[in-house]
Chains A and B, each alone.
Chain A
Amino acid sequence: MSGWCETPAELAELVGGAVRARDRLGARTLGDAAEALGAAAVRWGTDAQLLADLPAVARLSPPLVAAAVRIAAAAIDTRAMRALVEHEFGAGAAGRPAPRGPSLIGHVLAGNVPALGVPAIALGCLVGAAVVVKSGHDDPLSAPAFHRALEAVDPLLAAAVVTAYWPGGERSWEEAAFARADLVVASGTDETVAALAGRLGARLLAHGDRVSVAAVSREGLGRDEPLLERLALDIALHDQRGCLSPRAVYVEADGSPSPQAFAERLAAALDAVARELPPGPAGVEERAALRLLADEAEWEPGSRVLNGAGGLVVYDPRPAFRPTTGRRTIRVHAVNNLAALPLILAPGRVECVGLAASGPEVAALVPALRALGVARVCPIGRMQQPALAWPRGQRLPLGSLLGRPGPDVLEVEG
């Protein structure tokens, strides 16, 4: 069983209990786990208390939190989970128990995006492990809420899960949580995961700083679809704090609209999105970053600053890789041809590329993007809605938890 704990010793006790509960799950099939997790996600997605409390803690507006919870809940879909286990473990895997794997997986969650604990718990359960989740500073609520939902639908499975929060770097708590863990998956800044690497060594599976970008070809510009609104939504969700948030968009130069006109329309689209999904409160560091971005752009030849209520768009005619720092800010770069994109992006820094381009254009880009370390290619408008099967950091979501290195995976979503 899991619950509130006052001391590291109590946490260690809970973790030990979770491992014993996991052992008792024995021959339960992964399909059963997927059913329970899916039902829990539905419950969790309508948790009124969570939706009421999370905005203040996460520093996101209530509509943004509602959207984030809705997206996270949708990803924990029973059918998708069954498909994932069959994809990774072979046909019929959903009807079998989990393959032999770790008895305990720890998760250290980043604080930038809410609800990261939900897929963490789901993936751990889908490899048959007990799971201990350390929530991030800005969302200590989602993971316990999901745990409660799971307890309500499947107490036996929930007994193999522990959720906790302690300030990052508290060694005694860390030791209590992870001493028995076979693997600890950590998301956070490069600095955070480097500090954990020093303490956890080979047991750590690290996800450090990454950003995402969008790109639009001439063909993509000419489509009859609300491209700008979709891109604005990708930027606005999570107030652009996530690794899937686009921080730059590359637009082919000789299409219609022009990159500069595209920037102007994107600024208007951000304003429109902000009316539905207002930004949360900003700290002085974030507001200062906005000011500096606009101020610097004023001194860059050819750049243009478009500052609206919904965000800040900088038109930059140079095709550089200069991701912004978030808070609904983005650079629109002109490029002659999207084929140049892999030459512009920095290796190992980009998680997802949102594309508005033709099928052949996408197919031509994929090998080079894979070589750069990109893990996900999807249509613009879907960047913030990853499936549970998202191969984060090019790693298989389940196989990586079983220590199976696998190939470098890039998921292309149609």
Chain B
Amino acid sequence: MRSAFSLLAASAVPSPRVGSAVSLAAELVAAIATRASFEFEAWAQRIFRHQFERNAPYRAFCERRGVRPETVARWEDVPPVPAAAFRRAELACGPPEAIFLTSGTTDGAARGRHLVPHLAVYRASALGAFEHFMLPDGAHLTHLFLVPSPELRPDSSLARMCAWVGEAFGRDVEWLVGGDGLDVERLLARLADAERCGDALLLAGVTSAFVQLFDVCAARRLAFRLGPGSRVMDTGGTKGPERRLSRAGFLRACWTVLGVAGYCCVNEYGMTELCSQRYDSVLRDRFDGRGLEPRRLLGPPWLRTRILDPDTLEPVRPGEIGLLCHHDLANVGSVSVVLTEDLGRAVAPDGIEVTGRAAGAAPRGCGLLLAELGLS
């Protein structure tokens, strides 16, 4: 298997345009590869200066608050834009290499648009975190993706991430969502094959697709025992029109239907507006011998999350619920600090838990990918 670090280093080609956006992105890719020694504070200030200079709507937003690069003493001083701003403005520091759209509504005008000028940074961030949290054992597995492929959904940041993951880490890759939705029969056949051969699989996809699989298996009285080392990554939750399933119910179904134990089931938390993701700590903790730690969402060193009081935008007391505000330095080409519509709280010194949404916030996220296609 290729190491993600080698992949990242290969992407970090030094640029002759010193001081340019390309150079900054390349340096950031290289810094992401260093992982443990990532200097968040220094990068946060440097990236804010870059965004202030090159992102006109964001600069205007900061100036209305009296914030300029020279007034930012700490990374916490960088003003967050609300996620809704991505629905109203083109928040980019340069021409985009890709435009990703948020899910959640058929009203095209109201969909969030994340313009990403440096796909290499998104790729480096996504692969670095995925490898760390999903593949701590260096496993080299067949990947089954329960999401549409990038060809089917070029505007889906999740599809793009999965494609990179498959290329980098997958022994084989199959996409199980097509134009007609989740290909249940093919998926069942693949699961049966894997069970027969004792192969371990990595199943990654939207939570609603897993729920669909579980329902089919329940109706047909099917269950599989996938090979040891198999694992599940789900994302998006059950926000679509499908049956709601609690987290405990999801984990139970992973065990009874797939034979995948709860400690190999990892929830991913991501947003179209971010180039970095958080992952359920459970697999990483088990690998590191910290199996008694509470489940929590962990992120890579270049992503920090603050829990803010909605009234004051000051941090809440430890353990209290507030709005999640992500500072994602992989968003170098747009805006790094995003105030979400998600509510959550800190768990342990290094993690968070998502507890809900602001009242009346529209359903959104990857959980609606299938619903949007009319497929769930």
* CB-based contact A289/B361 at 8 Å: yes
The contact sample of 8 A-B pairs, CB cut-off 8 A, is A285-B357, A287-B310, A289-B360, A289-B361, A295-B84, A296-B84, A296-B87, A300-B88
Q: Which residues of A contact B57 (CB under 8 A)?
A: 299
**A296-B82, A299-B82 given; A288·B323 CB < 8 A:** yes
* CB-based contact B341/A292 at 8 Å: yes
- 8 Å CB interface, B287-316 against A: 309-311, 313
User: How many angstroms between the C-alpha atoms of A66 and B357 in the bound complex?
Assistant: 31
Q: Which residues of A contact B361 (CB under 8 A)?
A: 288-289, 292
What residues make up the interface of A, taking CB atoms closer than 8 Å to B? 283-292, 295-296, 298-301, 324-327
**A284-B343, A295-B82, A299-B82 given; A289·B358 CB < 8 A:** yes
Q: Which residues of A contact B84 (CB under 8 A)?
A: 292, 295-296, 299
* CB-based contact B88/A299 at 8 Å: yes
- Name which residue of chain B comes closest to A300, CB basis: B88
* CB-based contact B358/A288 at 8 Å: yes
Q: Which residues of B contact A284 (CB under 8 A)?
A: 310, 321-322, 343
Q: Which residues of B contact A292 (CB under 8 A)?
A: 82, 84, 341, 358, 361
**A296-B82, A299-B82, A326-B359 given; A288·B88 CB < 8 A:** no
Closest 10 CB pairs of A and B: A325-B360, A288-B358, A296-B84, A295-B82, A299-B88, A289-B359, A287-B310, A285-B359, A291-B310, A288-B310
Chain B contact residues, majority secondary structure: mixed
Q: Which residues of B contact A324 (CB under 8 A)?
A: 360
B356 CB-CB contact with A under 8 Å: yes
Kindly provide the distance from the CB of B190 to the nearest chain A CB, expressed in whole angstroms.
34
User: How many angstroms between the C-alpha atoms of A292 and B310 in the bound complex?
Assistant: 9
Q: Which residues of B contact A301 (CB under 8 A)?
A: 88
User: How many angstroms between the C-alpha atoms of A178 and B87 in the bound complex?
Assistant: 46
Kindly provide the distance from the CB of B6 to the nearest chain A CB, expressed in whole angstroms.
41
Kindly provide the distance from the CB of B9 to the nearest chain A CB, expressed in whole angstroms.
38
Option from B85, B310, B341, B356 in Cβ contact (under 8 Å) with A299: B85
User: How many angstroms between the C-alpha atoms of A143 and B81 in the bound complex?
Assistant: 46
Kindly provide the distance from the CB of B240 to the nearest chain A CB, expressed in whole angstroms.
13
Binary CB contact string for chain B from 6 to 36 against chain A (1 if under 8 A, 0 otherwise): 0000000000000000000000000000000
B373 CB-CB contact with A under 8 Å: no
Q: Which residues of B contact A325 (CB under 8 A)?
A: 359-360
The number of chain B residues touching the other chain, given as a range, is: 20 to 34
Kindly provide the distance from the CB of A306 to the nearest chain B CB, expressed in whole angstroms.
16
Q: Which residues of B contact A299 (CB under 8 A)?
A: 57, 81-82, 84-85, 87-89
- 8 Å CB interface, B326-376 against A: 339, 341, 343, 356-361
Kindly provide the distance from the CB of A200 to the nearest chain B CB, expressed in whole angstroms.
19
Kindly provide the distance from the CB of A238 to the nearest chain B CB, expressed in whole angstroms.
15
**A284-B321, A288-B310, A291-B311 given; A296·B359 CB < 8 A:** no
* CB-based contact A285/B88 at 8 Å: no
14 new A-B contacts at CB < 8 Å, known A295-B339, A299-B81: A284-B321, A285-B359, A288-B358, A291-B311, A292-B341, A296-B87, A296-B88, A299-B57, A299-B85, A299-B87, A300-B88, A324-B360, A325-B360, A327-B359
Q: Which residues of B contact A285 (CB under 8 A)?
A: 343, 356-359
Kindly provide the distance from the CB of B5 to the nearest chain A CB, expressed in whole angstroms.
38
Q: Which residues of A contact B341 (CB under 8 A)?
A: 288, 292
Kindly provide the distance from the CB of A149 to the nearest chain B CB, expressed in whole angstroms.
34
Of the candidates B84, B343, B357, B360, the one having the most CB atoms from chain A within 10 angstroms of its own CB is B360
Q: Which residues of B contact A290 (CB under 8 A)?
A: 310
User: How many angstroms between the C-alpha atoms of A283 and B81 in the bound complex?
Assistant: 23
* CB-based contact A287/B82 at 8 Å: no
Q: Which residues of B contact A327 (CB under 8 A)?
A: 359
User: How many angstroms between the C-alpha atoms of A300 and B110 in the bound complex?
Assistant: 11
Q: Which residues of A contact B313 (CB under 8 A)?
A: 291
User: How many angstroms between the C-alpha atoms of A393 and B7 in the bound complex?
Assistant: 61
Kindly provide the distance from the CB of B78 to the nearest chain A CB, expressed in whole angstroms.
16
Kindly provide the distance from the CB of B74 to the nearest chain A CB, expressed in whole angstroms.
22
User: How many angstroms between the C-alpha atoms of A296 and B82 in the bound complex?
Assistant: 7
User: How many angstroms between the C-alpha atoms of A296 and B341 in the bound complex?
Assistant: 11
Kindly provide the distance from the CB of B12 to the nearest chain A CB, expressed in whole angstroms.
34
Kindly provide the distance from the CB of B211 to the nearest chain A CB, expressed in whole angstroms.
17
Q: Which residues of B contact A289 (CB under 8 A)?
A: 358-361
User: How many angstroms between the C-alpha atoms of A289 and B357 in the bound complex?
Assistant: 9
User: How many angstroms between the C-alpha atoms of A198 and B358 in the bound complex?
Assistant: 28
* CB-based contact B359/A286 at 8 Å: yes
Of the candidates B57, B88, B343, B356, the one having the most CB atoms from chain A within 10 angstroms of its own CB is B88
Q: Which residues of A contact B343 (CB under 8 A)?
A: 284-285, 288
Kindly provide the distance from the CB of B84 to the nearest chain A CB, expressed in whole angstroms.
4
Q: Which residues of A contact B358 (CB under 8 A)?
A: 285, 288-289, 291-292
- Name which residue of chain B comes closest to A283, CB basis: B359
Q: Which residues of A contact B321 (CB under 8 A)?
A: 284
Kindly provide the distance from the CB of B256 to the nearest chain A CB, expressed in whole angstroms.
24
- Name which residue of chain B comes closest to A290, CB basis: B310
Kindly provide the distance from the CB of A315 to the nearest chain B CB, expressed in whole angstroms.
16
Kindly provide the distance from the CB of B108 to the nearest chain A CB, expressed in whole angstroms.
14
- Name which residue of chain B comes closest to A303, CB basis: B88
* CB-based contact B359/A288 at 8 Å: yes
Binary CB contact string for chain B from 34 to 58 against chain A (1 if under 8 A, 0 otherwise): 0000000000000000000000010
- Name which residue of chain B comes closest to A323, CB basis: B360
Q: Which residues of B contact A296 (CB under 8 A)?
A: 82, 84-85, 87-88
User: How many angstroms between the C-alpha atoms of A292 and B83 in the bound complex?
Assistant: 9
Kindly provide the distance from the CB of B364 to the nearest chain A CB, expressed in whole angstroms.
12
User: How many angstroms between the C-alpha atoms of A285 and B321 in the bound complex?
Assistant: 9
- Name which residue of chain A comes closest to B80, CB basis: A295
User: How many angstroms between the C-alpha atoms of A292 and B311 in the bound complex?
Assistant: 10
Of the candidates A283, A286, A299, the one having the most CB atoms from chain B within 10 angstroms of its own CB is A299
Q: Which residues of B contact A286 (CB under 8 A)?
A: 359
User: How many angstroms between the C-alpha atoms of A327 and B359 in the bound complex?
Assistant: 10
Q: Which residues of A contact B322 (CB under 8 A)?
A: 284, 288
Kindly provide the distance from the CB of A138 to the nearest chain B CB, expressed in whole angstroms.
14
User: How many angstroms between the C-alpha atoms of A301 and B109 in the bound complex?
Assistant: 14
User: How many angstroms between the C-alpha atoms of A325 and B81 in the bound complex?
Assistant: 21
User: How many angstroms between the C-alpha atoms of A283 and B322 in the bound complex?
Assistant: 10
User: How many angstroms between the C-alpha atoms of A327 and B84 in the bound complex?
Assistant: 20
- Name which residue of chain B comes closest to A291, CB basis: B310
Q: Which residues of A contact B87 (CB under 8 A)?
A: 296, 299
**A292-B341, A299-B89 given; A287·B311 CB < 8 A:** yes
- Name which residue of chain B comes closest to A322, CB basis: B110
Kindly provide the distance from the CB of B14 to the nearest chain A CB, expressed in whole angstroms.
37
- Name which residue of chain B comes closest to A301, CB basis: B88
Of the candidates A285, A324, A325, the one having the most CB atoms from chain B within 10 angstroms of its own CB is A285
